Chain A
Amino acid sequence: MTESQSPLLSLDQLSKTYIGRRSLVERLMRVPPTNVQAVNQVSFDIRRGETLGLIGESGCGKSTLGRSILRLHEPSSGKVVYDGQDITGLNPQDMKTMRRRMQIIFQDPYASLNPRRSVVELVGLPLKLHGLAKNDAEVREKVAYIIERVGLKANQMDRYPHQFSGGQRQRIGIARALVSHPEFIVCDEPVSALDVSIQAQIIQLLQELKQEMGLTYLFISHDISVIGYLSDRVAVMYLGDLVELGPVESVLNNPRHPYTQSLMSAAPDVDQPGKRDRVQLTGDLPSPMNPPSGCKFHTRCPVAIDRCKTEVPVIESVGEGHQARCHRLGEQISVLNLSA
């Protein structure tokens, strides 16, 4: 398999800031708005046909990043280059054409399906919006094909979402994302709302579909085992910053950023029930409205030094295709050794 040189998607300093609303009085008194920097100057490439796992704890901006890439939330600055074209400045008409090629699978299979529409209406909507079917009969034919492919029965297509189980609903969501034959899918925690037994089925399905349809995934999750199973490369986010990025083996087995190290040590391991060294981070995720100075992780980092409080670290290469953002990378430091 030869990989084409140009990445399918590349992010250039992508940021998303939510600007807080101020009342009239506050505006007159020139109180500065409380901004939330949800995504802070994230840059990375996604290659054709790969799965990039995006991992981080709740509120770190991973879902916002996924939505900003699709312009569901308008990025505040930076560029999203899709197949050589900067899509951040596209007009609505061109963006609509582009949307056929990039899709999203949502986390909540209950909230993401309109309860008033039947399966054929839900899954057939992209066909109608993009003129991919000539008439209703063709819509039904294509919907029947895709819902059978995702593991539902064609004769279920006139039912409504409330008549399905969570796993089946997620299959409907997958069918809807795939019916227009896109190339790139943002999977926004597609299995975290499901039972563990069903999670495995859905992950298997996503893997099969990727092979068959030549898809590229951005797979967002907080579950390290799911990411480890699916991904070719992994990106780790903390408070809106990309802190580590690299091939899945090297990030999971040899994490370099202290945050990634503690994240990995927190993952349960069936083979080692007694568990190896474990680092427990203290404190909560700081408020993104008022992020810490310097390295945003210094408030919780077990190996932080004075420099971390003042100076923002840059992301640097630590191996082949492996990057991390920490001042102490050169010292080969590991938070795991501290507890020993």
Chain B
Amino acid sequence: MTTSFKPLRTGRPKFDPNSIFWRNMQTFANNRLALFCAFVVLLFVFISIFAPWIAPHDPNETDLFRRLQPPAWKDGGTWAHVLGCDALGRDILSRIIYGSRVSIFIGAAVILVATTIGTLAGLAAGYLRGWVDTVISRVVDILLAFPYLIFAIGLMAMMGPGLGNIILALAYKEWVIPCRVVRGETLATREQEYVEAARALGASDRHIMLKEILPNILSPVVVVSTIRMAHVIILEASLSFLGLGVQPPTASWGAMVADGRAFILESWWVSTFPGVAILLLVLAINVASQGLRDAFDPRFQQ
């Protein structure tokens, strides 16, 4: 009997360039537009993290002499305030830079909470079936029947404004999206023979759900989560626009658009630049996440 083998290594190999994940990442990297958009998203994240160092002015510093000062390239503008100032004389560029913190933080937090809850609920519904599935699926159906924004407005009105409450109000409904994706994927994966093999070996339901099924359905969850992050950012901006989001004076893109609404004809820059910021970030996330989907969806692979 040959029992001679190399000294045992504990731990797994760190990097395998042939693994499915890295091959998918290479496919993603070949998509130039998606890669560029991913960099744009990262740029926004970078800006939001280092806002105090990047922003030229204090975002809340008011100066009524600079009231509605136009952007630098227009008459009356100065290079000290590149994108001009709002009705209270606050620097718009600085407020956009600080506002990215609210958008990105809320977007990431809501997606994190919603994906965690939705994944666990979806796994339970799809794997355990029976009454667990019935209860979870009916709750999902009920939540889907509410218009998203009205649901969030109602919750905000009940709970009152505040950062934590916005995250809760959006996550309350957002979890149904990953839940439905995970439930569907779980229904398909639970019939795989390797799941049956794990049961034959004596694995518990918990082990099967978290260790056997979850790793195999993670790609669509990640892809859906990134796509949904763009939606959440828009929703946060909508809530802030309606005055139910982050409270003044904290800079938030949606609130900035609302601030400029009264002067949209004479001082268009107050509303336009934060609007463009929303557009850029959401567009970049969408294109990047679609590149991600193309790379990770097996139907697009040869």
Neighbouring B residues of A114 by C-beta, 8 Å: 194, 197-198, 212, 215-216
- Residue B207, interface by CB 8 Å: yes
- C-beta contact mask, B189-232 vs A, less than 8 Å → 1, else 0? 00011101111111110010000100110000000000000000
Stretch at the interface among A41-49, A136-144, A275-283: A136-144
A148 contacts which of B5, B9, B13, B207 (Cβ < 8 Å)? B5
Query: Which of the 9-residue segments A98-106, A226-234, A258-266, A291-299 touches chain B?
Result: A98-106
Total CB contacts across the A-B interface at under 8 A: 84
Residue-by-residue, is B1-44 near A (CB-CB < 8 Å gives 1, otherwise 0)? 11101101110110010111000000000000000000000000
B20 interface neighbour in A104, A115, A126, A136, Cβ under 8 Å? A115
Residues 112-136 of A contacting B (Cβ, < 8 Å): 112-118, 125-126, 129-130, 136
Interfacial chain A residues near B194, Cβ < 8 Å: 111-114
* Docked pose: A70 CA to B202 CA in angstroms: 11
Contacts of B207 in A (CB 8 A): 129
Contact assessment for A126 and B202 in the assembled complex, using a CB-CB cutoff below 8 Å: yes
Chain B residues with CB under 8 A of A99:
200-202
Partner of B8, one of A70, A118, A141, A163: A141
Q: Please indicate the chain B residues that have their CB under 8 angstroms from the CB of A106 in the complex.
A: 193, 196-197
Q: A62 interface residue, CB < 8 Å from B?
A: no
Least CB distance from A190 to B in Å reads: 12
User: Which residues on the A side are within 8 Å of B200 (C-beta)?
Assistant: 70, 72, 99, 103-104
A129/B8 in contact, CB under 8 A: no
Contacts A126-B202, A137-B8; is A116 near B193 (CB within 8 Å)? no
Given that A116-B216, A144-B5, A154-B5 are contacting pairs, would A129 and B203 also be in contact in the complex, using a CB cutoff of 8 Å?
Answer: yes
Instruction: Determine whether the beta carbon of B216 is less than 8 Å from that of A111.
Output: no
Q: Which residues of B contact A103 (CB under 8 A)?
A: 200-201
Contact yes or no, B8 A144, CB < 8 A: yes
Residue of B nearest to A73 (CB): B196
Inter-chain CA distance A114–B196, complex, in Å, is: 11
Q: How far is the CB of A69 from chain B (nearest CB, A)?
A: 11
Among residues of B, the one whose C-beta sits closest to the C-beta of A135 is B10
28 A-B pairs within 8 Å (CB atoms) are namely: A97-B202, A100-B202, A103-B201, A111-B194, A112-B194, A112-B197, A113-B194, A114-B194, A114-B197, A114-B212, A115-B216, A125-B198, A125-B203, A126-B201, A129-B207, A130-B202, A136-B10, A137-B8, A137-B10, A144-B5, A144-B8, A148-B2, A149-B1, A153-B5, A155-B6, A158-B13, A173-B197, A180-B201
New A-B contacts (15) at CB < 8 Å, excluding given A99-B202, A104-B200, A158-B12: A72-B200, A96-B204, A104-B197, A107-B193, A111-B192, A114-B212, A115-B216, A129-B207, A136-B10, A137-B10, A144-B8, A154-B6, A155-B6, A158-B13, A162-B20
